[in-house]
Amino acid sequence: MGQGLVAPIAARNTGIALPSVKQGLSTPPALATPATPAPAFTPAPALKLGSSQPTSFVAAASKALAPTAATELTPGVVNRETYTAKNKELPDGELGTIIRKEGQGPSGDKAVDWAHDNAGVVYDFYKNVLNRDSLDGQGMVLKSTAHFGKSFNNAYWDGTHMTYGDGDGRVFTSFSQALDVVGHEMTHGVTERTSGLNYENQPGALNESWSDVMGELIEQWHADPNGFKTPEYEQKSDWLIGEQIFTPDKAGDALRSMKNPGTAYSGDPQPADMAHYKRLPNTQDGDWGGVHTNSGIPNKAAELVATKLGGEKTAQIWYKAMTGYLKPSSQFTDAANATLSAARDLFKDGPEAQAVKDAWDAVGLKSKLVNPLTQRQLDNRARVAADNLAKGDPHRGGIVPDWLVNPSTQGAAPKGLFAGK
């Protein structure tokens, strides 16, 4: 189990409530949805970044997240409820027994307190860095359930709340302990209410990737909110997902590596570029088309951007792409176009768009400037998201692919993963 950026964990292990981080944060961007349809737009035939040519695409339908001078912020009002399932597998939608509410001190149950405190960190990140008030943008109560099932090796978002298993002590330990895991799951709630990326094939891999990206950036931000802004800090970061809870008896591995996809553990199947993209069946055994596998490609692109621009700018670009450009059926190329266009919207003629373009080029994807979604498209996307929430997603899974945690399919696990266990 790697160490990673987990300095704040020591405080959480003792059940100490985590303070909000306020110092040195840039003013969060304005994120209002567009009030009118986007103006007529014709994409430029070629992007010449760094030039002084005029760019009509900055007339976006949504307000740009313009970078501004640093200032101290007052966090929004977080509202959390944290439950225990008492190691039972509860029916969908059931939360269990409430243990800790907003304003209450540590309960003494480590898994519950980790879930509760980490949810507060994630809330502060979205509020302070991205100006989003909870998962739905409207102050939604953050509900978490710990101790789900007996030795349950996963964590998941079910459309209403986060659920965390305790792990089996062999492959995983308690999932609520890892801030990047909590950030990953909560970001699924944001995705579900914005881009609504379908959980299959390339849209599903983007769904998983956006959660990995935000989960990792949240962990980095909490460890050092000022260093997080710099490329140098990002270059030194480990970019590992779940390193704190994965294979507790084995040091140095993780569930995923964003810096070097395919190297997180022995037999890690993630590709790092399109030349190694894996075409898998859209079935449960096929990980719904490889949503946890091919996510390595956009993960690598995000890591490359962060090491050039810093974590704060990367978070703002990825968030604007998710809220203003992506839709349920978006493919990898759409994600490249969305992040490139978001970077130009935010930072105009600065080096940021070139850094995004270079990152996608490095993983084998070309990008071009595109128009943000119109108000009509945003409204339609919201209706689709609401319908999906109402009916539930039959493909929804956890942060861990099924074949890695399901005893009936562990024979398909990468060679060497369970060696010596």
Q: What is the dihedral of CA 269, 272, 274, 276, to 10 degrees?
A: -40
Give the residue-averaged pLDDT of 175-203.
96
Give the residue-averaged pLDDT of 22-48.
34
pLDDT tens by residue, 242-288: 999 999 999 999 999 999 999 999 989 999 999 999 999 999 889 99
Give the residue-averaged pLDDT of 395-399.
76
**Catalytic residue of the set 292, 303, 312, 352:** 292
State whether residue 26 is helix, strand or coil.
strand
pLDDT tens by residue, 327-359: 999 999 999 999 999 999 999 989 999 999 999
Confidence check: pLDDT of 33 > 90: no
Confidence check: pLDDT of 194 > 80: yes
The domain ranges of the chain are 9-74+194-410
* Catalytic residue status for 276: no
Instruction: Give the position of tokens 């997180």.
Output: 264
- Compute the mean pLDDT over every residue in the chain, rounded to the nearest whole number: 82
Give the residue-averaged pLDDT of 214-220.
98
Superfamily of domain 9-74+194-410: Neutral Protease Domain 2 (1.10.390.10)
Q: Which residue has the higher pLDDT, 9 or 144?
A: 144
pLDDT tens by residue, 69-122: 333 433 469 999 999 999 999 998 899 999 999 999 999 999 999 999 999 999
> How far is Cα 166 from Cα 250, in angstroms, rounded to an integer?
18
In terms of C-beta density within 10 A (0-12 exposed, 13-18 middle, 19 or more buried), how is residue 113 classed?
A: buried
> How far is Cα 251 from Cα 243, in angstroms, rounded to an integer?
9
Q: Are 319 and 136 in contact (CB under 8 A)?
A: no
Confidence check: pLDDT of 146 > 70: yes
Confidence check: pLDDT of 49 > 90: no
Give the residue-averaged pLDDT of 2-12.
31
Give the residue-averaged pLDDT of 185-206.
96
Confidence check: pLDDT of 222 > 80: yes
> How far is Cα 253 from Cα 245, in angstroms, rounded to an integer?
10
Question: CA 377 → CA 25, 345, 374, 413, distances in Å?
Answer: 32, 19, 5, 41
Ranges 50-54, 145-149, 417-421: which has the least confidence: 50-54
Q: Which residue has the higher pLDDT, 374 or 36?
A: 374
* Catalytic residue status for 81: no
Looking at the chain, the whole-number percentage of residues with pLDDT higher than 90 is 71
What global pTM score does this model have?
0.82
State whether residue 256 is helix, strand or coil.
strand
Instruction: Give the position of tokens 């995983």.
Output: 172
AA identity, residue 39:
P
> How far is Cα 289 from Cα 283, in angstroms, rounded to an integer?
7
Q: Are 418 and 404 in contact (CB under 8 A)?
A: no
Confidence check: pLDDT of 409 > 80: no
**Catalytic residue of the set 185, 216, 243, 312:** 185
Q: Are 257 and 263 in contact (CB under 8 A)?
A: yes
